[in-house]
Amino acid sequence: MGLAVVPFSLEDTSGANISFPGQRHGLVCFVKEDCPTCHAVMPVLAELYRVYQGNLDIHVIGQTQQGNTVLENQYSPPFSMLDDSTLKVSFATDIEIVPSLFWTDEQGQTSQCLVGFVRDEWQQLCADLDLVFETNSTDIDWSAFPEWRAGCGSMSADPLIADRLRAESQNSPLRARKIDIGSGDDDFEFMFDQGFSDGLPLVPPTPERVLRMLAGSHRDPQEVLAIMPPNMGEVTVEKVAINAVMAGCMPQYMPIINTVVQAICTDEYNIHGVMATTMGASPVIVVNGPIREQIDMNMKLGALGQGNRANATIGRAVRLLLRNMGGARPGGTERSTLGNPMKFTMCFAEWEERSPWQPLHVERGFNASDSVVTIFTMTSGPTLIVDQDSRSAGALAGTMGLCLEAAFNPKAHYATDCLLVVVPEHIDTLMRDGYSKADLRQRIQEVTARPIRELVADEVSGTGFKAEVAASMSKVQLDRRLPKFKSEDDIHIVVAGSEAGKFSAAFHGWATGEIGSISVSRKIDEI
């Protein structure tokens, strides 16, 4: 226990700023609402204030705003309690036990310090105060108090909080709780045992590595980027850096990850629903703009697969944050029936320079010079679209439509969206006839349009319009042709992949719109 109350300026419950030390002797007592001993001494503190307020400054410091309100409502003390909800004054004074009562001189130096409640000590303090200030009017029935009552642990001494407060006092950007492991423990096995991992080994997030990772972002390490469902965890830049280290990222990836975190935690994206659905949906991250080249992302050969550090670890860092900050863990709120390999990672860049069309981010309203992340929600993919024979744009686009018709189920129309990744060789075929993105979308809708009568559930497949619904339809209604997608806007198109190979790919979506997830694009502002 330290023997000196640090100088402070704290607000009382009326909003007034109260400073210590003043020009007089002082009594400073630290309390908290959930401590029974603190409740026991509140009447004593009120009597001390009544008797000695003309002779010395009396400050009662509470450790939570809500607790201060509870204590004031319950005891109606003649003083206003001071708010130390940041716990900085408690920590700097080295408060370990509450209540802790300090008697200080005019310079703030401690004359006496009482910890917990020992009746004889508190009674003697009153006698000493009477002697110094020549009073004898303290009206306290000491026989009504127990001889001794232990105090409670100060919130500032809580191991979950003290590390953060210590880092703040040392002006360190790191505030997260530090975990010490035994010298005989294996770092990698420890992280598996603690449940931090997605099933693959993690890089230990040592302070040195986290500090290096933080250097990749100009944001304040304690800035809260988002509140992440379902656990509603506060995702700070520091927490992003910790998970980025574990994922194997490089510091220059931080702006992308920070931006993705903010995008997926929007109501539109609905990350809780995405991670909780039994369908196995998962975020798919597409990166556009100059940052692709700056961090050496893969947009060409093998863009959707392994081998590129940026692609692999950015997506993985996001998944680890969803697990460790959001609480989306298999068997908990994450209830995917089969799982999905995209839940490890799925992030790639669009090869804008190879595309004859507007890149994705420009199509979605950004400038070509902007670096942008777009997050889709997909349940499966990449599913190959194999067409090595079509020589016209119409035929190739028709192939793409027929392959996309399989999303969910060939009879499931108006049910989802898709992300179509067109490879360079297929781009060349489409451009022989000058196809635009609009042409491609229109052709996909054209070749997938089916009369409702062909989309009715039957003995071949129970999916589709229910028989009783179809029975109530007219012939005109049954002949109405429905394309695969409710809107052409549900067909998202990017360009990526090797120059060689006529194998485009499709990601099949999840529930769209307000009942599911809406894709979100966000500019990366940190670069």
* pLDDT, tens digit, 9 for 90 and up, residues 398-408: 999 999 999 99
- How far apart (Å, rounded) are the C-alpha atoms in residues 232 and 271? 11
Task: Give pLDDT, residue 164.
Answer: 74
Q: How many CB atoms lie within 10 A of CB 143?
A: 6
Identity of the residue numbered 374: T
Task: Give pLDDT, residue 440.
Answer: 98
CA angle 310, 315, 321 (to 5 degrees): 125
Helix (H) or strand (E) run with residue 386 in it: strand 372-386
Name which of 315, 395, 354 is nearest 494 in CA terms: 354
Residue 120 has pLDDT above 80, yes or no: yes
Residue 394 has pLDDT above 90, yes or no: yes
For residues 127-135, average pLDDT: 84
Q: What is the CATH number of domain 8-168?
A: 3.40.30.10
Residues 6+ apart with CB under 8 A from 520: 263, 264, 266, 268, 269, 374, 375
Q: 419 or 181: whose pLDDT is higher?
A: 419
Task: Give pLDDT, residue 22.
Answer: 86
pLDDT range class, residue 163, cuts 50, 70, 90: confident
For residues 353-360, average pLDDT: 98
Is there a contact between 92 and 169 (Cβ–Cβ < 8 Å)?
A: yes
For residues 253-261, average pLDDT: 98
Q: How many CB atoms lie within 10 A of CB 159?
A: 8
Name which of 109, 105, 93, 114 is nearest 38 in CA terms: 114
| Beta partners for residue 419, in sequence order | 492, 507
pLDDT range class, residue 136, cuts 50, 70, 90: low
Sign of CA dihedral 264, 269, 270, 272: negative
Task: Give pLDDT, residue 514.
Answer: 87
pLDDT range class, residue 167, cuts 50, 70, 90: confident
Name which of 85, 139, 133, 93 is nearest 113 in CA terms: 93
Give the pair of three-digit tokens for residue 134.
Answer: 């020549």
Percentage, residues of the chain above pLDDT 90: 86
- How far apart (Å, rounded) are the C-alpha atoms in residues 12 and 70? 14
The DSSP output letter for 289 is: S
Q: Which long-range contacts (CB under 8 A, 24 or more apart) does 201-210 make?
A: 202/246, 202/247, 202/320, 203/245, 203/246, 203/247, 203/248, 204/245, 204/246, 205/241, 205/242, 205/243, 205/245, 205/246, 206/245, 207/174, 207/178, 209/245, 210/174, 210/176, 210/238, 210/241, 210/242, 210/245
Is there a contact between 32 and 63 (Cβ–Cβ < 8 Å)?
A: yes
Q: Which of the residue ranges 238-242, 469-473, 492-496, 504-508 would you say has the lowest mean pLDDT?
A: 469-473
Percentage, residues of the chain above pLDDT 70: 98
Q: How many CB atoms lie within 10 A of CB 147?
A: 9
Place of tokens 């950004």: 366
First CA to last CA across the chain, in angstroms?
A: 47
pLDDT range class, residue 352, cuts 50, 70, 90: very high
Task: Give pLDDT, residue 386.
Answer: 98
Q: How far is CA 148 from CA 30, 62, 75, 437, 483, in A?
A: 18, 22, 21, 80, 80
For residues 374-391, average pLDDT: 97
Residue 2 has pLDDT above 70, yes or no: no
Residue 206 has pLDDT above 70, yes or no: yes
Name which of 449, 447, 450 is nearest 395 in CA terms: 447
For residues 110-130, average pLDDT: 92
pLDDT range class, residue 1, cuts 50, 70, 90: very low
Is there a contact between 24 and 56 (Cβ–Cβ < 8 Å)?
A: yes
Helix (H) or strand (E) run with residue 168 in it: helix 159-169
Name which of 125, 76, 122, 129 is nearest 99 in CA terms: 122
pLDDT digits (tens, 9 = 90+) for 15-70: 999 999 988 999 999 999 999 999 999 999 999 998 888 889 999 999 999 999 99
Q: How far is CA 296 from CA 120, 253, 259, 321, in A?
A: 72, 10, 18, 23
pTM score = 0.73
Average pLDDT of the chain is 94
* CATH 3.40.30.10 intervals, the chain: 8-168
